Every structure is written in C-alpha cells, then in structure tokens.
Amino acid sequence: MTGSEPSAADVKVCCATAYQQDAVALILGESYHPGGLALTRGLATALDLRAGERVLDVASGPGATAFLLASEFGVEVDGVDLGDQAVEKANALAAERGLAEQVRFHLGDAERIPLPDASVDAVVCECAFCTFPDKPTAAAEMARVLKPGGRVGITDVALDPARLDAELQSLAGWVACMADARPVAEYVALLDAAGLRVTRTEPHDDALAEMITQIDGRLRAFRMAKVAALENVDFDTALDRVASADRAVRDGIAGYSLLVAEKA
C-alpha cells in the first residue's frame, strides 16, 4: 500500500489483496460488509430472486453471499473476484459444502467480466462497486452480461467526497473502500448511463455504523490480547481512522445504500 495519491490500478489491486489477508479477515470478522447476511437476504428479496435463476456476484470474496443465495434462494451463482487466493478458497469451500454444482468462482475483473453477453438473470455486488476505479465500465459490464429485463442489486457505501475528512480520502487499509465512494445520486446516474434503470434505493446507514463499531471493538480487543497476526498494526492510527469514519456516518457524510436497477 502506498501513502500518497494512488493510481486507479493501485486501488483495485490493493483492495483485492487487502481483503485476502488474515489480518483484515481478523479485523472484519465474518461479516465482510455492513449489514452482514441479513442485508444480503434483504437484497435477494428486493431482487425477487427465483429458484433456478442464474446470478452473478461481482467481487465475491470468500463466497458468503454466493452460498447464501444458492442455499436459501435456490439460484445458481457465478462469483467473480480479483484475488486469486480468494477464488481458490471459495471454490474449495463450495466443494466442502456440497454446492460445487450450484456455485462457481472465477478469477476476473469487474471491468472485464469473464461471462458471455446476456447470460445471467441478476447481478449482485456488495460493498465493492465503490472500490472500482472505472465505474462506467464496471456498470456497462454488468449491463452486458444481463439478459434483457435482468436486475442488478448493489449495496454500497455512499458518501459525499467533497465533505470527507482529508485522512479518509487517502488510501488506508480496510477503510480504502470509502475512498472512492460516491453519493447515491451519482450511482444512480452511473447505472442509468449503462442502461440500468434504478427502481429502488434504500438507506441502511445503521448497518455501516454498526460495522464501524464492531471494527473498533475488535481492534481494541486485539490490542488487549496482543494477537500475533497483528503485531505490525499501528492500533492508534487504525482507531483514529475508525473514529473519523464513525464521525462521517454520524454527521451524515457517509452512509450505506441498497440500490436495485433493471436492464431495459
């Protein structure tokens, strides 16, 4: 990770790498995104997923979303992630859970999705769209792989960069995902420009506040327990970052949103 102004490619690789590290896994715990599996369930319900449908999960990470959609909603899922270890682990986990027939993970880039045109009924993307440096291309790719009438469901950090704390604007570990987040209206416009008409937006700011609280608690507990995997972590700086993220949420500068869009 670099300290100064990062390039677009840096952000993308850094995020994918960071999410694969044990330290990040430790700090974030089981729920890698605000709202956890409950919000994933809410997203699936908002998308009206039906058994047998084919779903693409962009930035599928360790696969928790894909497994939930497959087991609770009976859909087939293709996950795409930029981290090779994450993909490998997720495929192994799919086999372990007996879901290998229903769920597959592929190494790939959100800006060049390795699936054919008009091949999926729905796309989900949780807490990842904001990290994509070339958002118009990522949106266009989602539109390309969707069948006509297909749906997109996104949950993501929404914020006003102009009002954001200077320290949060810099690329820094797991708060990186906030660095290139946009206001909800801009997400709507980005999707619209790709031919994806937004039909629903829901605020879930409490989920973000809760996750920040949890991260703060975990950092403090790890510092107390002197966890070996985190011996190089600068806890004071990390806790300061968490505190400013928390302030941003409480001041209404940062929030978390659920968006559903349809391909015309």
Partner 1 sequence: MTITNPPRQKVDRDEVFLEYTKSICPVCKTVIDAEVNVKDNRVFMRKRCKEHGKFEALLYGDAQMYFDSMKFNKPGTIPLETQTEVVDGCPLDCGLCPDHKQHACLGIIEVNTNCNLDCPICFADSGHQPDGFSLTMEQCSTALDAFVRSEGEPEVVMYSGGEPTIHPRILDFIQLAMDKGVKTVNLNTNGIKLAHDRKFVEKLASFDRRPNIYMQFDGFNERTHTEIRGRDLRKAKQAALDHCAEFGLTVTLVAAVEQGLNDHELGDIVRFGVQHPAVRSVAFQPVTHSGRHLEFDPMERLTNAEIVHGLADQVPEWFRVSDFFPVPCCFPTCRSITYLLIDGENVVPIPRLIKIEDYLDYVSNRVMPDLDIRQALEKLWSATATPGTEMTQEQLECAVCGIDLPEALKTVTDTAFMIVIQDFQDPYTLNVKQLMKCCVEEITPDGRLIPFCAYNSVGYREEVREQLSGVSVPTIVPNAADLQPVLLTTRYGSKTLERDGNGHTPANATNVGQALR
Q: 197 pairs with which residues across the strands?
A: 262
Which residue lies nearer to partner 1 by CB, 29 or 252? 29
Which residue lies nearer to partner 1 by CB, 118 or 229? 229
Q: Is 106 exposed, middle or buried (0-12, 13-18, 19+ CB in 10 A)?
A: middle
Task: Give the C-alpha separation, 141 to 143, whole Å.
Answer: 5
Reading phi first (left if > 0) and then psi (alpha if -120 to 50, else beta), residue 226 is in: left
The least distance separating partner 1 from the CB of residue 97, rounded to whole angstroms, comes to: 15
Which residue lies nearer to partner 1 by CB, 102 or 214? 214
Which residue lies nearer to partner 1 by CB, 7 or 45? 45
Which residue lies nearer to partner 1 by CB, 114 or 217? 217
**Coil, strand or helix: which one is 154?**
strand
Cα–Cα nearest to 145, from 176, 174, 177, 122? 122
Binding footprint of partner 1 on the chain (CB under 8 A):
26, 29-30, 36, 41, 210, 213-214, 216-218, 220-229
The least distance separating partner 1 from the CB of residue 128, rounded to whole angstroms, comes to: 21
Q: Give the angle subtended at the CA of 27 by the CAs of 154 and 13, to the nearest 5°.
A: 55
Q: How far is CA 260 from CA 7, 34, 112, 184, 221, in A?
A: 30, 17, 22, 12, 37
The least distance separating partner 1 from the CB of residue 228, rounded to whole angstroms, comes to: 7
The least distance separating partner 1 from the CB of residue 29, rounded to whole angstroms, comes to: 5
The least distance separating partner 1 from the CB of residue 46, rounded to whole angstroms, comes to: 17
Quote the strand ranges of 95-227, DSSP E.
103-107, 120-126, 146-159, 196-203
The least distance separating partner 1 from the CB of residue 172, rounded to whole angstroms, comes to: 21
Q: How is residue 135 written in tokens?
A: 């958002």
Cβ neighbours around 252 below 10 Å, total: 11
Q: Which amino acid is at 156?
A: D
